[in-house]
Structure 1
Amino acid sequence: MVGETDFFSRHFMAHRATSGWALALNATPTPLGLKPNATGSFSEASRVAQMVVTVLIFLVGIPLNALVVWILGVRGGRRSGRAREEARGASSFRVYVVNLALADLVLVLRTPLMLGYLAAGGSWPFGLGSCRLVMFLRGLGLYANAFLLCAISLERCLCLLRPVWFRLRRPHWTVPLVCAVLWVLAASLSAPYISTSTLFLLKNRSQCWESAKPVQTLFIMETTMGFLLPLLLFLSSNLVVLLTARLAGGAVAGGGASGTTSLRLVRLYRVLFLTMLLFLTCWVPYFTCRFLKALADTRPGWKHLYVSALTGMYVSLYLVYVKSALNPMLYVFAARGLSRTVRASFFSAVDRIFNDDTSDYARRKSLRRTDSQF
C-alpha cells in the first residue's frame, strides 16, 4: 500500500511515457482526489484524511489482534495444558484463529511506514531496506490470510463430514503442522518481492514500488495462489458446510432435539455469512482491480481503465487493512451475539468462546452423539 496513493498516477505517467504516449500532468487523473497542485503536492485534506484512517487502523488493529493472540495463544495454551479434556475441535480452531490474528498483525504492522509516507507528502523516507520489507510483509500478510481462511473453511468441513476422525483420531500435531506449512508457503511466495522492490525518484520524490516494471510471473502467481485457488476452496468449503448443516438441522428438528444445537447452527450460519461477506468485499475487489490494471497496462487505448483500476486497488487494499483490524470483533460478535457481547467485556467474551468451562464442556459432550449425525 505504501507508494500506492499519489504514486499511482505518477507511476502511470512514467510508465506511459516510456511506452510512447505520455500525458500532461494536469491531464493525469489521481486516485481519491489526490490531485497535484501547483507544487505537485498532495491535496492537504485528502492526505490528512488518509493519515487519520491509517492511525485508526493501527490503534484498533494492533491491540485487538494482539489480545486475541494473548488470550487464545498464550493464556489459552496454558489453560488447555491444565485441562486435558478440552475438545480437540475447539483446540484446532484456536490454533487457526491465533495464526489468522498473526497474519492480520503482519498487515497492520505496515501502517506506521504507510503513515510516514503520507506524512512526508508522498515521498518514501525510509530507504530501500524498509521498502523491500514493507512489500514482503504485504505479500506475506495477504497470502497467509487467504491460506488460513481456506484452512478454517476446510476445518469446518471436516468437523461436519468426518466428526469421529476429526474429534478422536486425527493426530494432535496436524493443525500446527498445517499452519507452519502455510506460513512457509506464504513466505516463499512473498520472497521475490524482496529482490524486485525498488526505489526511484519521480518529481524529486522517492517512491517505493514492488518492481520497476510489470513482472507478469509475480502477477500470475499472486492472482492464482493468492486469490483464485483460495477463493475456490473458500467458497466450495463454506457451501458444503451450509448445505450439510442445513440438512442436519432439519434432521435434528424432526428428532425433537434441544434448542442448544439449533442455537449453535444459527451461530454457525452467522459466522459463515460474515466471513464470506468480508472475504468477497475485500479480496475480490482488490484482485479484480489488479487484473484490470494488468490488462489495461498492455493496451495503450485503455488509459481510463488503467487509472480507475489503480484507484480501485487503493480503496480495496484499504478495505483489506480495515478487515484485518476488525477481524477480532468478528470472532466475538458472530459467536455470541451483539447484545450479549456489549454487556460483557471483550476479554471475557473471547475467553468464553474458545476456553469453555469444564462444566460447559460436559454439557456439550452430551450433545456429541447428536452432532456426530451431521
Structure 2
Amino acid sequence: MNVDVTVYLVAIPIVHQICVKVVGVPLNGLVVWVLGWRGRRHLVFRIYVLNLAVADLVLLMRTPIMLGYVAYNYSWPFGRVFCHLIMFLRGLGLYASAFLLCAVALERCLCLLRPMWAAVHRPSWAVPLACGIMWLLASILSAPYLHSAVLKEVNGTHQCIESGEFNMGLFVTETIAGFILPLLVFLGSNLAVLLTTHQAVPLTPTSTPLTARRMTRMYHVLFFTMLLFLTFWVPYFVCRFLRALAEQRHVRGALYSRARLGTYISLFLVYTKSALNPVMYVFAARGLSRAIKASLVSTIERLFNDDSMESIRRKPNETVVCYLNFTNLHYPKI
C-alpha cells in the first residue's frame, strides 16, 4: 500500500473519527447535562432537544469502535458481540434521529396552527410519552440488525457486515420508515410553516423593524435547516438504496463499488452532523461573535430560557408570536 492510499484510507478517517469524538461527545453530553439535570422546568423544546442530543450520542458511541476498525487496516478486531452491537447502534441512532426530526417539524406546525392547545391545554405528559414511543419504535426497528450482522473473513481480513443475503423486508422498512416518511414530513411541515406565516404576517415596507428582523431570521433558519438536512442526511440513504439495488440484481460491478464507497463516506457526514449539532444550537440562538465570547454553558441555558414560553401562555391566541418564540428557543437538529 503506497503512501497516498494509506493517507486517504487510514490517516484521514482516523483523524476524522478522533475529531468527531473529541468535539461531539463533550458538546452533546453538555447539552444533556444542562437540559436534563440543570434544567428546572421540562418544557416541550427542552425535551425534544434533550432527546435529539441523546440520539446523537448513540451514533457517536460507534466512533471508538470504528476507530479501532480503521486502525487495524480495516479488519474487525472486536469479535462477534461488538459486531452485532455496532449495527444495532447505527440503526437505533438513525431511526431515533429521523423520528425526533419529524416530531420537531410537527411541533412547529402545531405551535403555529393550534397555539392555544399547544401552550395551555396539552397534557404535560404528552411530549415525554411521544418521545418514549419513538425510542421504543426505533429499538424495535433496529432489532433485526442484531440478527443480520455477521462476521466474515474477506481477503485475509475480518469484516463486520450485514448478511450477504438480501433482505427485501428490512430494506423496504428502512427506506420508508427511516428516510421517505421523515423526508416528506420534515419538508412538508417546514413548507407549511413558511407559507402560513408568510400569509399571516407578510413582509411589507410598513412592517416594524422587529417584525421584519424576526421574520427574516425565521426564513433563514428554516432554509438553513432544510439545506443541511438534504446535505447530511439524504446521501446516506440514497447510497444505501443504490447498494441494495445492485445486490438485488446480483451486480457486483461499478454501481455496487461506488454505492458501497458512497455509503461509507456519507456515514462520516452523519457523524459530523451529530458532532456539530450543539454548535448549531448555539449559533442559531445568538450572533456568532456573541456566541464565541459567551461561555457555552451560559449560552445553552439562555438559548432554552423559559421567558418566551411564559409569554405564549399569557397570550395563547397570538399564533405567529408562538412560532417566533419557538424559533428563538430551539434550532432543530438536521
Greater C-alpha radius of gyration: 1
Matched, 1:290 2:221: no
Matched, 1:43 2:43: no
Matched, 1:334 2:284: yes
User: Aligned partners of 2:222 and 2:177: how far apart in 1?
Assistant: 22
Matches within 5 A, 1:65-76: 65-76=28-39
Change (3 A) 1:214 1:300: closer
Aligned-pair identity (%): 53
Aligned to 1:54: 17
1:250 corresponds to which of 202, 207, 226: 202
Greater shift in the superposed pair: 274-283 or 51-60? 274-283
CA-to-partner distance for each residue in 1:53-91, whole Å, 9 max, x for gaps? 010001111011111111112111xx227xxxxxxxxx1
Could you tell me the TM-score, scaled by structure 2's length? 0.89
Matched, 1:267 2:217: yes
Greater shift in the superposed pair: 53-62 or 200-209? 200-209
Matches within 5 A, 1:1-374: 37=1, 43-46=5-8, 47-76=10-39, 79-80=40-41, 91-250=43-202, 259-299=209-249, 303-356=253-306, 370-371=318-319
Aligned to 2:329: none
Greater shift in the superposed pair: 302-311 or 117-126? 302-311
For residue 366 of structure 1, report the CA deviation from its aligned partner: 7.0
Aligned to 1:15: none
User: Aligned partners of 2:320 and 2:227: how far apart in 1?
Assistant: 28
Change (3 A) 1:222 1:55: same
Q: Does the 8 Å CA contact 2:115/2:316 hold for their aligned counterparts?
A: no
Q: Does the 8 Å CA contact 1:103/1:144 hold for their aligned counterparts?
A: yes
Q: Does the 8 Å CA contact 1:117/1:124 hold for their aligned counterparts?
A: yes
Q: Does the 8 Å CA contact 2:282/2:291 hold for their aligned counterparts?
A: yes
User: Aligned partners of 1:186 and 1:42: how far apart in 2?
Assistant: 40
For residue 372 of structure 1, report the CA deviation from its aligned partner: 5.8
Letter in 2 for 1:306: Y
Could you tell me the TM-score, scaled by structure 1's length? 0.80
Letter in 2 for 1:101: A
User: Aligned partners of 1:233 and 1:186: how far apart in 2?
Assistant: 17
CA-to-partner distance for each residue in 1:130-188, whole Å, 9 max, x for gaps? 00000000000000001101100000000000011111111111100000000000000
User: Aligned partners of 1:262 and 1:75: how far apart in 2?
Assistant: 34
Q: Does the 8 Å CA contact 1:58/1:325 hold for their aligned counterparts?
A: yes
For residue 213 of structure 1, report the CA deviation from its aligned partner: 2.5
For residue 262 of structure 1, report the CA deviation from its aligned partner: 4.0
CA-to-partner distance for each residue in 1:250-272, whole Å, 9 max, x for gaps? 28x6886x544444433332332
Q: Does the 8 Å CA contact 1:51/1:119 hold for their aligned counterparts?
A: yes
User: Aligned partners of 1:361 and 1:226: how far apart in 2?
Assistant: 31
Q: Does the 8 Å CA contact 1:289/1:312 hold for their aligned counterparts?
A: yes
User: Aligned partners of 2:181 and 2:312: how far apart in 1?
Assistant: 35
Aligned Cα RMSD in Å?
Answer: 2.4
For residue 218 of structure 1, report the CA deviation from its aligned partner: 1.1
Gaps of 5+ in 1: 1-36, 82-90
CA-to-partner distance for each residue in 1:319-354, whole Å, 9 max, x for gaps? 011001001111111222323212222221111110
User: Aligned partners of 1:302 and 1:123: how far apart in 2?
Assistant: 21
Letter in 1 for 2:59: L
Residue aligned with 1:209, SS: strand
Q: Does the 8 Å CA contact 2:197/2:320 hold for their aligned counterparts?
A: no
Gaps of 5+ in 2: 324-334
Residue aligned with 1:207, SS: strand
Change (3 A) 1:167 1:290: same
Change (3 A) 1:184 1:362: closer
Greater shift in the superposed pair: 57-66 or 204-213? 204-213
Letter in 2 for 1:138: R
